[in-house]
């Protein structure tokens, strides 16, 4: 089934540890995004990639890094986790075709708790 796969589904992480959240899509979408979801704040964009080989910073990029080596994969890395990074992380993708086809596909999320 076409879509986005995120791993792990949940993780408890000690502060100071490094962690990579994985995101893979099989729809050949050009653009991919990482959001974090926090109660009352909705979804906030962390990083994005409009096409393989390019990335950009979103609204809340500090403490996170991404890479886009190919079309399908867009991992998010926390170099040294802090408790404020406790959140639910969603990966999303979209095709960059005609605007009428505009629409994000979301993954099922990764629930991360930093202790």
Partner 1 sequence: AQSVSQHNHHVILSEAASLELGCNYSYGGTVNLFWYVQYPGQHLQLLLKYFSGDPLVKGIKGFEAEFIKSKFSFNLRKPSVQWSDTAEYFCAVNAGNAGNMLTFGGGTRLMVKP
For residues 81 and 89, which CB has a smaller minimum distance to partner 1 in the complex? 89
Is residue 99 a contact residue for partner 1 (CB under 8 A)?
yes
Is residue 13 a contact residue for partner 1 (CB under 8 A)?
no
Backbone phi, then psi, for 20, in 5-degree steps?
-120, 125
Which structure tokens are listed for 33? 């995004």
Minimum CB–partner distance for residue 1 and partner 1 (Å): 13
Strand 19-25 and strand 31-38: the pairing is unpaired
- Asked if 31 contacts 99 with a C-beta cutoff of 8 angstroms, the reply is no
Which residue, 31, 30, 35, 32, is CA-closest to 46?
Answer: 35
Minimum CB–partner distance for residue 59 and partner 1 (Å): 8
Is residue 113 a contact residue for partner 1 (CB under 8 A)?
no
Q: Rule CB under 8 A: which of 62-81 touch partner 1?
A: none
- Asked if 74 contacts 23 with a C-beta cutoff of 8 angstroms, the reply is yes
For residues 51 and 80, which CB has a smaller minimum distance to partner 1 in the complex? 51
Please tell me the chain's helix, strand, coil percentages from 3-state DSSP, rounded to the nearest 5.
5, 50, 45
Minimum CB–partner distance for residue 15 and partner 1 (Å): 27
The footprint of partner 1 (CB under 8 A) covers 31, 35, 40-45, 48, 50, 58, 90, 92, 94, 96, 99-100, 102-104, 106-109
């Amino acid at each position: 089934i076409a879509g986005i796969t995120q791993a792990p589904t949940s993780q408890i992480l000690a502060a100071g540890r490094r962690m990579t959240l994985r995101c893979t899509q099989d729809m050949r979408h050009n653009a991919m995004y990482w959001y974090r979801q926090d109660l009352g704040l909705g979804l906030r964009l962390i990083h994005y990639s409009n096409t393989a080989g390019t990335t950009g910073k979103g609204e809340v990029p500090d403490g996170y890094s991404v890479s886009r080596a190919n079309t399908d994969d867009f991992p998010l890395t926390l170099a040294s986790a802090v408790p404020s990074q406790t959140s639910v992380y969603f990966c999303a993708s979209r095709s960059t075709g005609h605007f009428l086809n505009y629409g994000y596909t979301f993954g099922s999320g990764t629930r991360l708790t930093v202790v």
